Chain A
Amino acid sequence: MKTPNPQRALRALYTGCGYLPFRVRKFEDYDLYAENKRFLQSHRVLTFTDTDGRLKALKPDVTLSIVKSSGGGELRKLFYQENVYREPRPGEGFCEIAQMGLECIGALTGFDVGEVLMLAGRSLDALAEDWVLTVSHIGVVAGVLEAAGFDEEQRRAAFAAVSRKNAPALAALPDAQAAALLQSLIRLYGPLDETVAQAQELPLPPASRAALAELAALGDQLALYGLKRVALDLAVVNDVDYYDDLVFRGFVAGVSSPVLSGGRYDRLLERMGKPGGAIGFAVYLDRLELAPRPAAAFDGDVLLLFESESDLPLAIRTAERLRQAGESVRAARTAPADLRYRRVLRVRNGEVREDA
């Protein structure tokens, strides 16, 4: 990890763009999740019955709570730092997961969308030296499927295959022209501007072209922020019932799954009967801890051993002096078993000596 305190770095980044901190309740009505199951990463929710008999849940997600509590209309820019409760992988059981993220809800403009994407990129930059932000627009693939006249089931199958870059499954789709186009699209991968230009050379329907034009405009905006390492990858697909526009994922070297995920989810607002658009992302801080790193060689800087009560004043003075110099000091009568320190100092008969 680049910084010992990623939360602080991200907070500074978000407040620097005028995002305000937002605190959500720990418990939420279960109905909110039951009605929007497909929006959740995992469908399992930790529930309990409240004292008034209502079914409540420990929140598995923050976005739904924020959208529920926001009026729609006027643009709101919020960020959060919350624990959520869900099953990270099937069979692992419920876990408490530290999550940070931001949401931009209301009368969105192209500028706000570009700013969120920039913040996603800079979030990754704050967390790791080596990172990639992959971006896609659901409209590119959706345009091809619509032009081919696919029904709902075929659409789902096609998106599932696209999300896995599964060329053989796409080849089996009923429309040969659409199948060939989709196979070409999932092979594209690379820097946003160049790769969008490559996609524009394919014989795509107008709806797909419009989506690509949006991506190209975003690429221009990101260039103004000087943000590099943004790649186009059309295999980035979130649940298409909620995300039908821009979607993106962030990866850092050494972590095997995305540490950031987001997109534009206007459809959720629509379903909740609220006007306007919405875009946001979440940073999965727990996944950063999965990156392999060497165990610390020492448990502290200095072990300060003193033998008798008469050495106590000198021991305390020595410990305080070292702490002021920025070292961690454990002072003790006997050395703790199993712990290792960079230096061992002994106070004896009014003298301080360092062990060789």
Chain B
Amino acid sequence: MLNVALPKGRLGEKVYERMARAGYPCPEVLEESRRLTFENPETGVRYFWVKPSDVAIYVERGAADVGIAGKDILLEYSPQVYELLDLGMGKCRMCVAGRADFRDDTSRTLRVATKFPNIARAHYAACGREISIIKLNGSIEIAPLLGLSDVIVDIVETGKTLLENGLAPLTTIVPISARFIANTASYQFHSDEIRTMCERLENAL
């Protein structure tokens, strides 16, 4: 039996549909209920929904054998997991964004608001730019509008939200998509099941 951590939300539902096409169906997963885990003994999977940013923790600590996590989370928290497959779903970009008329004054420390302090720090360290990180937990776009920060580092999907707020993506740091990840110890004890699941997922487009 493989424990599979699915990320709550729209992406998670699409991922589940792909799992079902790959031969791991469990229809109750999508039903509204108070249940927390969903099992299909015939195909040997047990699904559970967790907060997208927690998937990697469940997998790293072995509570889930495998899971689906965004590349943004993997880059931010660097969990010790195997990153077996790029599902090519939930595609977006990690970007530096700011007011459309933003000009970087390199004589000053740059104030960066973000949910992803590690990614932001690594990006600016590579450019050698002195920054001050402002860690926020949501509504990042408002920070440059109210003068809380000069720029933001955040996920950009279509850029519509930015545009509506008079902001624009300035630099792409890295492309993001959903990854199929596995616990390194589980891989040793369930290598055949995990590799089969990975192959089937790759082919179930």
Interface positions of A (Cβ within 8 A of B): 130, 132, 134, 164-169, 187, 189-190, 231, 233, 235, 251, 253, 255-258
Known contacts: A189-B195, A256-B60. The answer to whether A165 contacts B189 by CB under 8 A is no
The residue on B at minimum CB distance from A229 is B188
Interface class of chain B by DSSP: mixed
30 contacts between A and B (CB under 8 A): A164-B83, A165-B82, A165-B83, A165-B84, A166-B82, A166-B83, A167-B84, A167-B85, A168-B83, A168-B86, A169-B83, A187-B195, A189-B187, A189-B195, A190-B191, A231-B191, A233-B188, A235-B184, A251-B185, A251-B188, A253-B189, A255-B62, A256-B60, A256-B62, A256-B183, A256-B185, A256-B186, A257-B62, A257-B80, A257-B185
Cα A258 to Cα B61 with chains together (Å): 11
Interface positions of B (Cβ within 8 A of A): 60-63, 80-86, 179, 183-189, 191, 195
Q: Which residues of A contact B84 (CB under 8 A)?
A: 165-167
The residue on B at minimum CB distance from A259 is B185
Interface class of chain A by DSSP: loop
The residue on A at minimum CB distance from B74 is A164
Across the A-B interface, the 5 shortest Cβ-Cβ residue pairs: A256-B62, A168-B86, A132-B188, A166-B83, A165-B82
Give min CB distance, A83 to chain B, whole Å.
23
Cα A233 to Cα B82 with chains together (Å): 12
Given known contacts A167-B84, A251-B185, A256-B184, what 5 new A-B pairs fall within 8 Å (CB)? A165-B83, A166-B84, A256-B63, A256-B185, A256-B186
Q: Which residues of A contact B189 (CB under 8 A)?
A: 130, 132, 251, 253
The residue on A at minimum CB distance from B81 is A164
- Cβ of A189 and Cβ of B62 under 8 Å apart? no
Q: Which residues of A contact B83 (CB under 8 A)?
A: 164-166, 168-169
Among B62, B82, B188, B191, residue most surrounded by chain A Cβ atoms (within 10 Å): B188
- Cβ of A134 and Cβ of B80 under 8 Å apart? no
Cα A253 to Cα B186 with chains together (Å): 8
Q: Which residues of A contact B195 (CB under 8 A)?
A: 187, 189
